[in-house]
Amino acid sequence: MPVAVYALTAGAFGIGTTEFVIMGLLLQVAGDLGVSVPAAGLLISAYALGVVVGAPLLTLGTRRLPRKSVLIALMAIFTLGNAACALAPDYASLMAARVITSLAHGTFFGVGSVVATRLVPVERRASAIAVMFTGLTVATLLGVPFGAWLGHSHGWRTTFWAVTAIGAVALAVLALLVPAQRAPEEIAPLRQELAVLRMPQVLLGLMMTVLGFGGVFAVFTYIQPILTRVAGFEDAAVSPILLLFGAGLAAGNLLGGRLADRGLGRSVIVTLGLLAAVLVAMTFALQGRLAAVAFVGLFGVAAFATVPPLQLRVLEKAGESGQNLASSLNIAAFNLGNAFGAWLGGMAISAGLGLGSLPLIAAAVTAGGLAVALWSLSLDRRDAPSSPPAQAAAAGCATAGD
């Protein structure tokens, strides 16, 4: 991999850390700012919605600029936004700072994915995306636990100062290592870029992402009570088990990249099918502690094995002129899946179905994504031109008939 791809990984690490680290600091934030825990939880929801809104708007607004300049500007927004979080005097200020920070998220991953694919040969595009997204998995594995520990030990504001420092380092690395690029000489008309919103295969790709990750977050959002109240672990055991989950994310991300390089359509089906199967089996594995630990790791592998194939599928179907917008929209779709999965899991719990039902419900959601993928691939086969041998055979039959 070119070193510039690892520079994108550094940026992804910083952004991934700031999105998820607040999950481990809700009690501290709520107590310090004098708000309820549910109100503090809205800081997570607002961030996700900011990603959904900011991804398409900033992508379209920066389409005439060099890609490197866009990435640096986005990382600057991220860095300043986290500094504002650290300085926020009250809840409203913190909410505003979180939303501003989130605006850079979707466009960074969207534009970064496009840049990564153009730094490598065609046959390694999915692996390049996977390496970039490794920053997000490492953030989950190391950045979030460390940030939570730092916040518990020295106050939640210290965590945001640390993330600000990470952003400054990532900005410097991007400036030094990503190749300079000129502004595009020819820009497709806005109408042409927006045409991706009318492409059935792009919309199906976005639907796969929402449903696939909706299944992931229907379980992951409630993983702590699942482990303690269903599997019977002590609270102290949750963090080590989640480290195993994070390691699974990193391994699954790289696995998904390799599978997609070997066959994109097949990898979408295999990874979504694997995720659904793991979730079904997890329903029964939670009855035993050893099996529960093993399946938390497998869940991590299966969850992020879907990321490179789903991202590359949308890029491939968008065409050259719509790749930046489609890529950013797919990042927004991941976050929409996060919000949908968390809502669905909460609804299931409120309805009295219990925490133990969540893996099976999540499997059904992911199976919906798999059904959409199968439909999408069937359209590929229907629209594919006849192969030369088939055309030749048809011509021969016609000649014989004459």
pLDDT in tens, 62-87: 888 888 899 999 999 999 999 999 99
Asked whether residue 261 carries a pLDDT value surpassing 70, the answer given is yes
Can you tell me the mean pLDDT for 261-280? 95
Q: Give tens-digit pLDDT for 110-122.
A: 888 888 888 888 8
As a whole number, mean pLDDT of residues 267-271 equals 96
pTM: 0.77
Candidate from 7-11, 359-363, 364-368, 390-394 with smallest mean pLDDT: 390-394
- 256 vs 248: CA distance, rounded Å: 12
Instruction: Categorize the per-residue pLDDT at 239 as very low, low, confident or very high, splitting at 50, 70 and 90.
Output: confident
CA distances, 223 to each of 96, 220, 330, 347 (Å): 28, 5, 25, 15
Instruction: Tell me how far apart the 2 most distant CA atoms of the chain are, in Å.
Output: 87
pLDDT bucket at 210, cuts 50 / 70 / 90: very high
pLDDT of residue 184: 57
Helix axes 125-138 and 91-118, enclosed angle (nearest 10): 150
Q: C-alpha angle with apex 16: 11 to 21, nearest 5 degrees? A: 135
Q: Stretch 113-135: mean pLDDT, rounded? A: 86
Cα of 255 vs its chain's centroid, Å: 15
Which pLDDT value is given to residue 269? 97
What's the chain's average pLDDT? 85
The CATH number that domain 195-384 falls under is 1.20.1250.20
Q: Rounded to a whole number, what is the distance in angstroms from the first to the last CA of the chain?
A: 57
Tens-digit pLDDT profile for residues 9-55: 888 888 888 877 876 677 788 889 998 866 877 787 788 888 888 88
Q: Measure the CA–CA gap between 114 and 323, rounded to whole angstroms.
A: 7
d(CA 214, CA 340): 6
Domains 1-177 and 195-384 share a fold: yes
**With 80 as the cut, is the pLDDT of residue 254 above it?**
yes
Residue 385 binned pLDDT confidence (cut-offs 50, 70, 90): low
Q: Tokens 């190391």 map to which residue?
A: 142
Domain ranges of the chain: 1-177, 195-384
Quote the tokens at residue 138: 């490492």
Q: What integer pLDDT is reported at residue 144 of this predicted model?
A: 73
Share of the chain above pLDDT 90, in %: 36
CA angle at 102 for the pair 15 and 208, rounded to the nearest 5°: 85
Q: How many Å apart are CA 218 and CA 339, to the nearest integer?
A: 9
- The CATH code of the domain at 1-177 is 1.20.1250.20
